[in-house]
Amino acid sequence: MSKQMTMGVLVGNRGFFPSHLATSGRLEIIAALEAAGIKPIVLDPEVTAHGAVETYEDAKKCAALFKAHAAEIDGLIITLPNFGEERGLADAIRLAELHVPVLIQATPDNPSNMSIAHRRDSFCGKMSISNNLKQYGIPFSLTTLHTEALDSPEFKADLSWFAAVCRTVRGLKNMRLGAIGARPTAFNTVRYSEKLLERSGITVETLDLSEIIGRIGRTKDNDDATQAKLAAIKKYVPVGDTPEAALLKMAKLGAVIDNWMTVNALDVSAVQCWTSIEEFLGIVPCTVMSMMSEKLIPSACEVDVLGTLSMYALTLASETPSALLDWNNNYGTNPDKAVCFHCSNLPKHFFNEGVKMDYQLIIAGTVGKANTHGTLDGRVKAGPMSYARFSTDDFTGQIKGYVGQGAFTNDPLNTFGGAGVVEIPKMQELLRYICENGFEHHVATNFSSTAAPIYEAATKYLNWPMYMHQ
């Protein structure tokens, strides 16, 4: 998750424009990327004139360079220090066959210095390369302003945005998801299509809950992995009055899941909870799941596979923990506020100080308090947040979704579990959209402003129809 980003860079140049601008532009884009902690892969001036891409021969050399680094390149950036030769740039991307996001940047002219020796015309050239990429069927992204200097705050922000797009695309295209147990009967809402996910490069590995419980039964109390997990649990959150026997069961559960995910190279998980684990293991899995999400390995309850995917998209974009919550209650009479709640496996990152381990009040009424230790109880902190939800639509054969931004507030709320008040502009329109389009009652949330890169990644590079709530 925290690996260094790598961008392939294509420097544009057109011979009858000032070529010294290509030389300086190449150095400027390298400096901008390195300042952002991004590794550039770019032609050397010894390989092509000015290290730019102009001719078809240049395109072949650039494609060969990119192919040699295909495993590490997250995205491509076209920089236009002058008009640029659009055919060579488009050919290089086609020949490289990387199928990663592409960003087009054009450097602005200086109105006081537009002599033949310094005039760029990249303003115009950006339209030409965009036109050619459209003809070639290559999707691309644009900077916020039509022209932006490489050392400007605007380009710095756009580069951060584009990096989030690239992380999201790369992560979701090669996602491996672990589904532990069967979907609870009462949760028809979280049905999904494995086949549609597989078509998008997302593999689901399943494991019966009986195998998890069976492996726990074979695990000795002094097992090294179990004892390490037990120590991690006690360090993670105050355990309060939770019995030591319950903590040991949580540790065994966590160790077994960790091992299964490692062996199967899984990125995220969705876990059956309600109420099999409580009845047949005697704990809730909330703390174990919270710890995974805190480590940027999202875990969703009720085998909500698409909920986990939604969490992962936010985590990829922001590089911070995500949580899955219910759109749960109105908040008084304010139409733009609601209570988001789970009972809860939220990552510790989401809580104010004072979060603690407790028992699960709702399920305790069915299976008894003694079988429901391990939930996290606390108030969600205030701050800007993004939300996302993906769903498989079997009737159209598509993965679809919605994204938007709002905030968790400091409004008073007296309840249990993990709960917070959200405020979202025009929330009634969002709620109507969710209901009319058959989305689930679960939503992924994240303390970030990452709706825009997720929308770009999904619609432009994954071909998933999305609604962006404004």
Q: What is the per-residue pLDDT across 245-271, written as a single tens digit (0 to 9) for each?
A: 999 999 999 999 999 999 999 999 999
In our burial notation (b when 16+ CB lie closer than 10 A, e otherwise), range 330-349 reads ebeeeeebbbbbbbbbbbbb
User: Strand runs (DSSP E) across 12-115, as ranges?
Assistant: 39-41, 75-80, 102-106
Instruction: Judge if the upstream peptide bond of residue 344 is cis by omega within 30 degrees of 0.
Output: yes
Q: How many CA atoms lie within 13 A of 31 on its CB side?
A: 10
Q: What is the per-residue pLDDT across 69-124, written as a single tens digit (0 to 9) for each?
A: 999 999 999 999 999 999 999 999 999 999 999 999 999 998 877 777 677 899 99
CA distance 41 to 9: 6
Q: Which residue has the higher pLDDT, 16 or 323?
A: 323
All CATH 3.40.275.10 domain ranges of the chain, comma separated, are 176-468
Residues 6+ apart with CB under 8 A from 421: 331, 337, 338, 339, 340, 408, 409, 411, 413
How much is the pTM? 0.96
CATH number of 176-468: 3.40.275.10
* Angle at 340 (CA atoms; ends 335, 345), nearest 5 degrees: 175
DSSP 459: I
Q: What is the per-residue pLDDT across 1-40, written as a single tens digit (0 to 9) for each?
A: 467 999 999 999 987 777 899 999 999 999 999 999 999 9
DSSP 331: -
* Angle at 275 (CA atoms; ends 273, 280), nearest 5 degrees: 95
**Closest listed residue to residue 359, CA positions, set 243, 213, 209:** 243
Rg (CA), the chain: 25
CATH number of 6-173: 3.40.50.10940
All CATH 3.40.50.10940 domain ranges of the chain, comma separated, are 6-173
C-alpha 248, offset from chain centre: 32
